[in-house]
Amino acid sequence: NAGVMQNPRHLVRRRGQEARLRCSPMKGHSHVYWYRQLPEEGLKFMVYLQKENIIDESGMPKERFSAEFPKEGPSILRIQQVVRGDSAAYFCASSGTASRPHEQYFGPGTRLTVT
């Protein structure tokens, strides 16, 4: 059973470009969470999605950031017009098994560098 998969693992973008980060949850999981980890800081919640629905986006910046989890395919975190301050590791987690509903399993992360 493959774990949570994220790609790309590393992404370099110039200021003003768009970044698209993908997350495929574990098989059978229908809940996806995105977190951001700035250097020397703890992970910070960004957004929680279920299939085709954003449930909680209270941690997401109001501008330039968006997320989706379509019926088919991976969850996408999209950052438009990236700035240097967006450089961070972005982690996706998934959960949703009946036996362990609250256990979040993390992917390996995407390290975004904005030059």
Partner 1 sequence: KNQVEQSPQSLIILEGKNCTLQCNYTVSPFSNLRWYKQDTGRGPVSLTIMTFSENTKSNGRYTATLDADTKQSSLHITASQLSDSASYICVVSGGSNFGNEKLTFGTGTRLTIIP
Residues lying near partner 1 in the complex (CB under 8 A): 4, 31, 35, 40-45, 48, 50, 55-56, 91, 93, 95-96, 101-109, 111
Alpha-carbon separation of residue 3 from 29, 38, 41, 79, 92 (angstroms):
10, 23, 25, 24, 11
In angstroms, what is the minimal distance from the CB of 10 to partner 1?
10
87 closest CA partner among 44, 36, 47, 45: 36
Task: Tell me how far apart the alpha carbons of residues 3 and 67 are, in angstroms, rounded to a whole number.
Answer: 21
Q: For partner 1, give the closer residue by CB, 17 or 89.
A: 89
In angstroms, what is the minimal distance from the CB of 113 to partner 1?
14
Place of tokens 């703890």: 42
Q: For partner 1, give the closer residue by CB, 14 or 58.
A: 58
- Classify residue 15 by its DSSP letter: T
In angstroms, what is the minimal distance from the CB of 65 to partner 1?
19
Q: For partner 1, give the closer residue by CB, 63 or 98.
A: 98
